[in-house]
Amino acid sequence: MMKAKRWIVIGTVASAAAVLTALAVPVATRTFRTTAAVTAVLQIADPLAPSTALLATLPLAGHDLVSYSLGTTNVLTNQVLALEINCDSSQANIVVYDKALHSNILVIATSTRIDALTSQDDPTAAGPNRERFVMQMGVNTNGFLIGGYVTVAGRVYLDPATGCPRALLKDTDKRWDKTFGEIVVKDLDDKTDKGKSIAGEAHLIGMVNSIVVGGSTNVFLLPFGHLTIKQQLLP
């Protein structure tokens, strides 16, 4: 009888665990408006010797990344660049956010790995208030973008009560910005965006394959780029 009871208890615990697994709540995410300034390097034919390649640079703003991912060269006003990151810093996406739909409509790049370290400046607070991260991300095939990869490194503020990234009205965590090359990227995408709050700063390196004029595919090296993570768009 005791053996039977023991197996009943084990079975009950296993069933409860299965129910908890099935009912597990996904980790909450936050989406933040993000501005970008990236300089790409690509090969072009020498006009004086077409069989010879030259290197050229191409400046890209956030609206360029959005347009290329949506398959157009027009500057779009309702669709803007954003960063989506969950509250345990285990998953992040660079996305296109549609202001009219109030929704993320396309994933430009998604993380394959994130390493993050937190800092709790107030020992009496509920938890850490900021973190630094390094994200390895794969670029998806959308529009004119045909795959690639980026590594994004930077910092974000955290809500000590929830652990979620958050935006503040004033940027106070600038102590290492010069060391790590972090700069504030002006909003060249939307002149109506007057948001002043900030969630963090980041920089990136990587490469993307892009369809160019004529339909051929060209490699765009991204030796260095800047991201400013601004106001929260979605909870």
Residue boundaries of the structural domains of the chain: 27-234
Query: Which amino acid belongs to residue 34?
Result: T
Average predicted confidence (pLDDT) for the chain:
90
Instruction: Give the model's confidence band at 24: pLDDT under 50 very low, under 70 low, under 90 confident, else very high.
Output: low
> Does the pLDDT at position 151 exceed 90?
yes
Question: What is 123-178 written as a DSSP string?
Answer: TTSSS--EEEEEEEEEEEEETTEEEEEEEEEEEEEE-TTT--EE-BSS----TTHH
> For position 62, what pLDDT does the model report?
96
List pLDDT tens digits, range 112-122: 999 999 999 99
Query: Which structure tokens are listed for 209?
Result: 């394959």
Nearest to 96 by CA among 112, 111, 110, 116: 110
Could you tell me if 58 and 44 are in contact, meaning their C-beta atoms sit under 8 angstroms apart? no
Rounded to an integer, what distance in angstroms lies between the CA atom of residue 63 and that of residue 80? 6
Q: How many C-beta atoms lie closer than 10 Å to residue 173's C-beta? A: 19
pLDDT at 17: 44
The answer for 181, left when phi > 0, alpha when psi is -120 to 50, beta otherwise, is left
DSSP string computed for 102-121: TEEEEEEEEEEEEEEEEE-S
Query: pLDDT at position 20, please?
Result: 42
Residue 2 parent element (H or E): helix 2-22
DSSP state of 198: B
- Regarding predicted confidence, which is higher, 67 or 26? 67
Mean pLDDT to the nearest integer, 179-205: 91
Q: What is the dihedral of CA 181, 187, 193, 198, to 10 degrees?
A: 0
Instruction: Point out the least confidently predicted range of 8-17, 81-90, 104-113.
Output: 8-17
- 50-100, pLDDT tens digit by residue? 899 999 999 999 999 999 999 999 999 899 999 999 999 999 999 999 999
Q: What is the pLDDT, as a whole number, of residue 25?
A: 64
Which of the four pLDDT bands, split at 50, 70 and 90, describes residue 188?
confident
pLDDT greater than 80 at residue 141: yes
Please say if the pLDDT value at position 14 is more than 50: no
Whole-number pLDDT of residue 96: 98
- C-alpha–C-alpha distance, residues 8 and 3, integer Å: 9
Burial-class residue 229 by CB neighbours within 10 Å (0-12, 13-18, 19+): buried
Can you give the length of the chain in residues? 235
Cα torsion through 93, 98, 103, 106, rounded to 10: -40
